Amino acid sequence: MKKCAENEQIRVLLERVLEYGERITKERPFTEYEKQGRLLSMFGVVCTTALEMYRMEMESKKTLLSPISCDYVRMIARLEELKGSLRKILGEVPLFAKRDYMKYPELTINDIEDFKERFLAFERLPQCDKSGARKTIINIVEFAYNMYDTLFMGLTTIAQSLQNMRDDEQMLGDHHELLSKRWNLMMKRYLETEWLTDKQVFQNKLDEYINQFGKDKTTLEMFLKQLDRDATDLLSIEMLVTLNRLYLNGEDHLLYIFDHRHELKQEHITRHLCFISCRKLVEQEIELFDLRQPAPGADADLFTCRAAKELVELLIPLIKVRVDFDYSYQFAAWVKAMMDLNLIYSNKDEKNKRNGTLIVNYVFKTFTERIDKSTLFSYINKEKEFEKIKDQYDLIMNICDSASGERIDFLKKAL
């Protein structure tokens, strides 16, 4: 709702810029004071609108939704026409027509902050404190010229922001991969701002369901089906239902968002992002059940679970790069580290009755190094022998502990 209000406010500001400009260019003032008042009003609304338009332009680069509901081409044309008319009308005013540019040089964008600071007292004059108005001294001629320059810079900024937003929409429409990048920005923002609250609400609902039906894979799959049914309920908002259905069917939901960027609201997108995030959370819980199952085939006697097998395979390339194995017996350091991390069965487990040969074979397959089984366990089990491989062991443990990444972190969670 907040975004809609902000967009409506900017639309009103744009119309006010055009309205004030048309009064200056089309209606003859009765007095000089009225002329000056109109120019001051125009100056104020243009400054405010230019700033808000720039902010909206920056915001538009983070969403697939249309930042403002207007005809860009028509609005830009009206603003350019207004600039031309204003220059013509104000050019007939002696103050501006006979400006001494040596004495009063044209203001640049880099001078705006200094201009604002120098005339801040004038801006704050109506808001004097309890002690009353304070004496204010400004160079009114300098102010008039700076106001003139700022006015046209503001109109240029407004038109340029509109043009940039139009160009951005055209670029998104021509390059589908950019839709995905923009969508990732929208997801990132949602996860950083609103997901924490939504996740807690959803987690409570999931916990209640598990308490009622039990915590197992079947329960989670049933919950996921119910979640999908609710998300595509025809009693819900039609466009949101369509969006969720496209996502579930693996169809192009991003193109749908872009094609309906003027009709879709941020509320629709937020609820769609919440649905996707909640669904992924349940899918992850289901996958955790699978990852905690025994590894397939003969690997079941070597690895403690499926997650352990996958994690070992992800860690091996890191270990190969950073650890020097000068002698074959030093591979015992890798074996002990994997045992201590509970990734492969320890020689203290009953499983070891069958996995000694498996370990030796895996070392050969992975590192292309042969190591005798008795030698291997001698370095692992005897403290004196272990000291010879301790440096490699410590380094491997450090690598495994510090290794991170979305998949690695998830696998560690499954252990």
Secondary structure (3-state) at 303: strand
Binned at pLDDT 50, 70 and 90, residue 1 comes out as very low
Binned at pLDDT 50, 70 and 90, residue 131 comes out as low
* Segment 392-403 mean pLDDT: 96
Binned at pLDDT 50, 70 and 90, residue 83 comes out as very high
Give me the pLDDT at residue 349, please: 56
Strand pairing partners for 65?
Answer: none
Sign of dihedral through CA atoms 408, 411, 413, 415?
negative
Query: How many angstroms separate the CA atoms of 115 and 109, rounded?
Result: 10
In the predicted structure, residue 292 carries a pLDDT above the cut 80: yes
The percentage of residues in the chain with a pLDDT greater than 70, rounded to a whole number, is 94
* Segment 173-198 mean pLDDT: 95
Query: How many angstroms separate the CA atoms of 236 and 245, rounded?
Result: 12
Interhelix angle 176-193/195-213, nearest 10 degrees: 80
* Segment 157-176 mean pLDDT: 94
Binned at pLDDT 50, 70 and 90, residue 347 comes out as low
Tokens of 81: 């026409």
Give me the pLDDT at residue 353, please: 53
In the predicted structure, residue 174 carries a pLDDT above the cut 70: yes
The percentage of residues in the chain with a pLDDT greater than 90, rounded to a whole number, is 68
* Segment 337-358 mean pLDDT: 78
Give me the pLDDT at residue 67, please: 85
In the predicted structure, residue 37 carries a pLDDT above the cut 60: yes
In the predicted structure, residue 59 carries a pLDDT above the cut 50: yes
| Continuous H helices in 175-194 | 176-193
Sign of dihedral through CA atoms 137, 139, 144, 147?
negative
* Segment 226-254 mean pLDDT: 92
52 CB-side CA count, 13 A: 20
Report residue 79: phi and psi, to 5°: -70, -40
From residue 152, alpha-carbon distances to 53, 92, 106, 108, 387 in Å are: 15, 16, 11, 11, 78
* Segment 378-398 mean pLDDT: 91
The answer for residues whose C-beta is within 8 angstroms of residue 259's C-beta and 6 or more apart is: none
Q: Which residue has the higher pLDDT, 292 or 3?
A: 292
In the predicted structure, residue 43 carries a pLDDT above the cut 70: yes
In the predicted structure, residue 230 carries a pLDDT above the cut 90: yes
Residue 378, amino acid: S
* Segment 367-392 mean pLDDT: 88
Query: How many angstroms separate the CA atoms of 387 and 380, rounded?
Result: 10
Average pLDDT over all residues of the chain: 90
Q: Which residue has the higher pLDDT, 378 or 3?
A: 378
* Segment 298-324 mean pLDDT: 94
* Segment 323-340 mean pLDDT: 93
